[in-house]
Amino acid sequence: MAHPPRHRIHPAWWVAIVAFLALFAAAGFRGAPGALMVPLHTEFGWSMSIMSVAMSINLVLYGLVAPFAAALMDRFGIRRVVATALTLIAVGAGGSVVMTASWQLLVFWGLLIGGGTGAMALVFAATIAERWFLRRRGLVMGVLTAGAATGQLVILPPVAAMAETIGWRPASLVVGGIALLAVPLVIAVIRDHPEDRGVLPYGADPDTFVPAHRATGGAMKRAIETLLIAARHRSFWALALAFAICGATTNGLVGVHFIPSAHDHGMSQTTAAGLLAIVGVFDIVGTIASGWLTDRFNPRLLLLLYYAFRGVGLLFLPWLLSDSVHPSMLLFIIIYGLDWVATVPPTVALCREIFGDRSTIVFGWVFASHQVGAAIAATAAGVVRDEFGAYTYAWWGGAAMCAIAAVLSIMTRASGNETRGRRSPVPVQG
């Protein structure tokens, strides 16, 4: 390893490309339910509350599985965990076409797809960025995050169109097939560590680089142990609560309920899905830009700005929804797209700054809070819609939560002996 072979393109970039495609494929069914809820309600008469519960289970598992998945990747390798997760997503999406009762929705949409997507989630992206890159980590994390978020939005228009024309079952099968197609790519290209390819991480100096210690022992024990250590640090709770609000105001509110809310105002499902697809396009720009900015500026200030902009958008959303697309709605979509998951790169950077070698598992727990927040918001918004006949109070509640997240973001701090990006022990006192 003192003189690693030279490559025209560093293998880390090929690994990042395949990771992007895998995250994009896995995210497909995360956006699909928003386009399938109305057809399911029409065919089976299931209420928005029942379907929101299924999505809440999905969102909770998507988060709670993440820290254990990070530990499993440390213990058994990235390829095994990711290939298994993609297969589980495909089984859940394919099996959902035989549903006849609402409890089956909880199994296929909730347990199987939630567990599969959770086994990848953004801890997969964080693990790739942490292991394969020393330079451009923020940028890579931004790109991979964009893949995870954009996949669930860009796939909405074709899914919505298929659901309206040939039915929701073929749409579900297509999404499952996309996840299954990514498995061979993952097996062929991704390796667990750069050393497995005989190279150093991108940007590493051969004279000074020291490989990270490879984890041994039980994955569950390591995940729980990391949580207990991190929970002693006040910054962990600030990050977790802020990221829970991030999940509530993206996946939980807009991701699940934007299409039904737009439908309430007379807009077609396909048009509303197209607007979310535009969110996905601008999300790519915003998240990659956020990664670039995270490499250069204080991530706390970036988070403060991101949550503030998001809150303003949600505050005005009830007045922007109508039966057609107009310039002010497009402005909201563009701003929300740029901000959609721009919070991820600075949050990962703060986890690395504060928690060192355990940062990917710590981020897994922070991400779990993201999904718990999304699940609570998804269910609460469905109840608000059933009780009041509109989503207005749900959007305003999201705006208020964003103000809280903005304040929490500037409350994180590292111990005095820590430096950003350095491998260091996890601090145990706040």
Quick one: tokens of 35? 């386009």
Q: Write down the domain spans for the chain.
A: 11-199+214-409
Write out the DSSP string of 173-185. HHHHHHHHHHHHH
Instruction: Please indicate whether residue 145 or residue 308 has the higher confidence score (pLDDT).
Output: 308
| pLDDT > 70 in the chain, percent | 89
- pLDDT of amino acid 152: 66
Instruction: Say what the pLDDT of residue 24 is.
Output: 84
Which class is 11-199+214-409 in CATH? mainly alpha
CA distances from 406 to 202, 228, 245, 310, 377 (A): 33, 26, 10, 10, 18
pLDDT digits (tens, 9 = 90+) for 66-79: 788 877 887 788 88
Is residue 337 a contact partner of residue 290, using CB atoms and an 8 Å limit? no
Question: Average per-residue pLDDT in the chain?
Answer: 81
Highest mean pLDDT among 4-13, 209-218, 414-423: 4-13
Which stretch of 140-144, 348-352, 414-418 has the lowest confidence by average pLDDT? 414-418
Q: How far apart are CA 141 and CA 425, in angstroms?
A: 22
What number is the average pLDDT over the span 109-131? 82
Closest by CA position to 199, among listed 6, 4, 9, 12? 4
Q: How many whole angstroms separate alpha carbon 102 and alpha carbon 265?
A: 27
Three-class secondary structure of residue 314 per DSSP = helix
pLDDT at position 124 over 90: no
For residue 310, give the nearest of 227, 379, 395 by alpha carbon: 395
Tell me what pLDDT residue 215 has. Answer: 58
CA distances in angstroms from 359 to 172, 202, 240, 420, 426, listed in the order given? 35, 19, 13, 12, 9
Say yes or no to pLDDT of 364 above 70: yes
Rg (CA), the chain: 21
What is the C-alpha to C-alpha distance for residues 226 and 89, in angstroms, rounded to an integer?
27
- For residue 263, name the pLDDT band (cuts at 50, 70, 90): confident
> How many angstroms separate the CA atoms of 140 and 122, rounded?
12
pLDDT of 402: 93
248-261 b/e (C-beta count within 10 Å ≥ 16 → b): bbbbbbbbbbbbbb
Residue 200's region, left for phi above 0, alpha for psi from -120 to 50, else beta, is beta
* Residue 34 predicted with pLDDT over 80: no
Structure tokens at 273: 């899905």
Contact 336, 310 (CB under 8 A): yes
Average pLDDT over residues 193-219: 72
Cβ atoms 150, 281 nearer than 8 A: yes
121: nearest Cα among 78, 177, 171, 76: 78
pLDDT classification of 346: cutoffs 50, 70, 90: very high
Tens digits of per-residue pLDDT, 135-191?
888 888 888 877 776 676 677 677 777 877 888 888 888 888 888 888 999 998 888
Q: What residues contact residue 252 under an 8 Å CB cut-off, 6+ apart? A: 59, 373, 374, 375, 376, 377, 378, 381
Share of the chain above pLDDT 90, in %: 11
Q: Cβ(224)–Cβ(283) under 8 Å?
A: no
| Packing angle of the helix pair 11-26, 28-44 (nearest 10 deg) | 10
Which residue has better confidence, 192 or 302? 302
> What is the reported pLDDT for 285?
86
Q: How confident is the model at residue 426 (pLDDT cuts 50, 70, 90)?
A: very low
Q: Which residue has the higher pLDDT, 102 or 351?
A: 351
SS3 call for 374: helix
Between CA 171 and CA 162 the distance in angstroms is: 6
241, pLDDT greater than 50 = yes
Furthest CA-CA distance within the chain: 67
Mean pLDDT of 366-381: 85
Between 236 and 4, the more confident residue is: 236
Q: What is the pLDDT of residue 337?
A: 85
Q: Tokens 């709605």 sit at which residue?
A: 329
What does the pLDDT average to over 351-370? 84
Q: How sure is the predictor about 206, in pLDDT bands with cuts at 50, 70 and 90? A: confident
- From CA 322, how far away is CA 1, in angstroms rounded? 61
Average pLDDT over residues 113-132: 83
Residue 244 has pLDDT above 90, yes or no: yes
Above 60 in pLDDT, residue 422?
no
| Residue 135 three-state SS | coil
